[in-house]
Structure 1
């Protein structure tokens, strides 16, 4: 039996602000559906990913900004750092660890993300 992780709920306080932010990061807007006055469903997917995020009105009971350490993987951390910076995303300096190289950023609500290159830049 396959079990595929395909959708992660992200708690946000302002749906339009979150959508604009994730579009700026480079995520593709797959759906933006007002289901009712109580529910609006937005689904966005990072380029090349099989897993998407969802947020909106009536989607989750988690407090906005409570996600800590969502992680995406890239092949080139320097390119990712430069790309995110060029898009106006405030990112950390590159953090080289024995298990990979990372940059970190947060969405407007404070949900924290790690971008990882699985092979550290320092590996030869």
Structure 2
């Protein structure tokens, strides 16, 4: 049996603002933007090169989790410094490059799989970007 993670719900207060943030600033692709009955709106976005997407929602239409409560969703890129630069150029407030040393975060790059940057969306949902090896089988730009 193969199990694949396909969709992660991200609770937000303002779906339109979050859609702009994730698509225009973070660079995710908008896959679907659907309006259902009872004021429910579903916006699905996918990071470049990912097989897993996120879905934005406000209220009980997508998730009952309060906006801003999701922490630790992690993206993996082949070059965290370049990814940080792209986010900064698009106006995303992203933290410094850090690594884990002796059980705590320290400034500067670390070794393989131990270099990170962090950012929050406008609602306070927290993201980590980790440096890892390029995946030549991934869809998108191949990096």
Corresponding residue SS for 1:114: strand
What TM-score results when the alignment is normalised by the length of structure 1? 0.91
In the other structure, the counterpart of 1:4 is 4
Listed one character per residue, the Cα deviations across residues 59-99 of structure 1 (whole Å, up to 9, x for unaligned) are 11000000010000000011011111001000000002354
Q: Pick the aligned partner of 1:100 from 114, 117, 120.
A: 114
- 1:64 matched to 2:67? The reply is yes
What is the alpha-carbon distance in structure 1 between the residues aligned to residue 84 and residue 62 of structure 2? Answer: 31
Partner of 1:16 in structure 2? 16
* Number of residue pairs the alignment of both structures matches: 119
Higher mean displacement: 90-99 or 30-39: 90-99
2:90, 2:39 → 1: CA distance?
32
Contact 2:94 2:118 in 1 (8 A): yes
Q: 4+ residue runs of structure 1 moved beyond 6 angstroms?
A: none
CA RMSD of aligned residues (A): 1.2
* In 2, Cα distance between equivalents of 1:87 and 1:112: 18
Which residue does 2:123 correspond to in 1?
109
Alpha-carbon shift at residue 38 of structure 1 (Å): 3.1
CA distance in structure 1 between the aligned counterparts of 2:114 and 2:74, rounded to whole angstroms: 12
Cα distance between partner residues in 1 of 2:8 and 2:81:
26
**1:100, CA displacement in angstroms?**
1.3
CA distance in structure 2 between the aligned counterparts of 1:40 and 1:16, rounded to whole angstroms = 10
User: Which structure 1 segments of 5+ residues have no match?
Assistant: 120-124
| Superposition TM-score, scaled by structure 2 size | 0.80
